[in-house]
Amino acid sequence: MVPADEAAAKRVFRVLNRATKAWKMLPREWVMATTERAVEFEGRFIPAS
C-alpha cells in the first residue's frame, strides 16, 4: 500500500472499532466487515464487548 492508502485504512479501522462500542444491534454485514478488518490489521482489531 502507498502511504495515503495506509492512512485511509487506519482511519477506517478506528472508525469501525469505535462504532462497535455504540451500536446495540449489528447489521448482518458487520460480521463480514469485522472479519475482513481483523485479517487486514493482523489481530489488532479488537471487537467491542
Show me where the domains of the chain are located.
3-40
48, 21 in Cβ contact below 8 A? yes
The whole-number pLDDT of residue 43 equals 63
| CA–CA separation, 8 and 29 (whole Å) | 21
How many CB atoms are closer than 10 A to CB 21? 9
Confidence (pLDDT) at 45: 67
Q: How far apart are CA 6 and CA 20, in angstroms?
A: 21
Q: What is the pLDDT of residues 1-49, one digit of tens each?
A: 567 788 888 888 888 878 777 776 667 777 788 788 778 877 676 666 5
* pLDDT at residue number 1: 53
pTM for this one? 0.41
| pLDDT score, position 17 | 79
